[in-house]
Amino acid sequence: MKTCRFLHDGTAHYGVVEERNGTLWITGPAPIPEEDRAAQLANLRGNARTAFAPMPLSAAKLLPPVTPGKIICVGRNYRDHAKELGNEVPQEPLLFFKPISSLLAPGGTVVMPRVAERIDFEGELTVVIGRRASKLKPDADWRSYVRGYTIANDVTARDLQKKDGQWTRAKGFDSFCPVGPILSDEVDPESGLTVETRVNGELRQHGSTTDFIFSISQLLAYITAAITLEPGDLLLTGTPAGVAALAHGDRVEVSITGLGTLSNPFAVEAN
Ligand code: MG
């Protein structure tokens, strides 16, 4: 199933997304996930199931397709990207968090902080956790812990990443984590999903999820040995080669096979 989350009559709704004549449509309500307590409450009050007519996905006011409790990310999970920044290929997954306050809807404007000199895009396949996962064994049925997949842009202040010595600020500015447009369980990263990023229409990143250094199975075992993952949590799986600096007015589009395109404009913060 493909789903999305969108604003309708001032309330966040979940919708089923289906293709009709080559276009994606929101055709009806989708179940509210257990982690979205605000939507559950709205539903109990009777105002979350307001009927809506089918609409093209492109006409909806989209929100990130999930409400995660945490956003965990893997750095340098593609050899070519590790090399392009002059880094060694890691022997173990390199983990970091992005704060929930960095989440941004599809189409939302990424605000480029003036304190940063270089802001890069990083297009990434993103795993959405479907049920609590702790201490998973490497041979666990990892797919049973996955609700589906979406797209994220792991926006990074590259100069601050180097200067700070750790990545909290560089990866964590407000609006630095656009996610969407849809969530789908109909794709299989192990069969090779193409990850492409375009800036103002020009192709800048082209990778495949078969090029991961660490597989999703290995990542989930490594992460859950330390950190319990909960339904709705996001795992950003790393970015292919081709990252580069952005300028005010650029539009970044990240496209992944079967998951559509996540498109966001970038703008320098107002004085
Ligand atoms: Mg990244």
Task: Calculate Rg over the CA atoms of the chain.
Answer: 18
Q: Residue range 144-168: average pLDDT? A: 97
> How far apart are the CA of 3 and the centre of ligand 1, in A?
24
Domains identified in the chain, total number: 2
Q: How much is the pTM?
A: 0.96
pLDDT of amino acid 142: 96
Q: What is the DSSP string of 28-40?
A: EE-PPPTT-HHHH
Q: Are residues 59 and 77 in the same domain?
A: no
The rounded mean pLDDT for the chain is 95
CATH of residue 104: 3.90.850.10
Q: Are residues 152 and 220 in the same domain?
A: yes
Q: Residue range 76-96: average pLDDT? A: 89
Token pair for residue 47? Answer: 């105002």
Nearest to 13 by CA among 34, 35, 40: 40
> How far apart are the CA of 31 and the centre of ligand 1, in A?
30
pLDDT of amino acid 266: 98
Q: Are residues 129 and 215 in the same domain?
A: yes
DSSP state of 66: S
pLDDT of amino acid 48: 55
Last residue of a domain, one of 42, 63, 84: 63
Q: Are residues 76 and 39 in the same domain?
A: no
Please give the Cα distance from 156 to 118 (Å, whole number): 8
Q: Are residues 166 and 199 in the same domain?
A: yes
> How far apart are the CA of 227 and the centre of ligand 1, in A?
19
Q: Are residues 57 and 110 in the same domain?
A: no
Q: Are residues 165 and 123 in the same domain?
A: yes
pLDDT at residue 49 is higher than 70: no
> How far apart are the CA of 152 and the centre of ligand 1, in A?
9
> How far apart are the CA of 177 and the centre of ligand 1, in A?
10
> How far apart are the CA of 2 and the centre of ligand 1, in A?
24
Q: Do 105 and 195 contact (CB within 8 A), yes or no?
A: no
Q: What is the pLDDT of residues 171-203, one digit of tens each?
A: 999 999 999 999 999 999 999 999 999 999 999
> How far apart are the CA of 62 and the centre of ligand 1, in A?
23
pLDDT at residue 50 is higher than 80: no
> How far apart are the CA of 21 and the centre of ligand 1, in A?
34
Token pair for residue 255? Answer: 């496209």
> Locate tokens 């890691």: which residue?
90
Residue of 41 and 258 predicted with greater confidence: 258
Q: What are the CA-CA distances from residue 189 to residues 192, 257, 259 (Å)?
A: 5, 9, 11
Q: Are residues 47 and 121 in the same domain?
A: no
pLDDT of amino acid 152: 98
Q: Residue range 76-86: average pLDDT? A: 86
Q: Are residues 85 and 167 in the same domain?
A: yes
Q: Do 264 and 209 contact (CB within 8 A), yes or no?
A: no
Helical ranges in 52-198 per DSSP H: 79-84, 158-164, 168-172
> How far apart are the CA of 120 and the centre of ligand 1, in A?
10
Q: Are residues 81 and 53 in the same domain?
A: no
DSSP state of 2: E
Last residue of a domain, one of 63, 89, 104: 63
Last residue of a domain, one of 63, 86, 113: 63
- Report which residue type is found at 51: A
Q: Are residues 25 and 135 in the same domain?
A: no
Q: How far is CA 48 from the centre of its chain?
A: 25
Q: Are residues 181 and 228 in the same domain?
A: yes
Q: What domain range is 171 assigned to? A: 71-268
Q: Residue range 123-151: average pLDDT? A: 96
Q: Are strands 55-56 and 156-157 parallel, antiparallel or unpaired?
A: unpaired
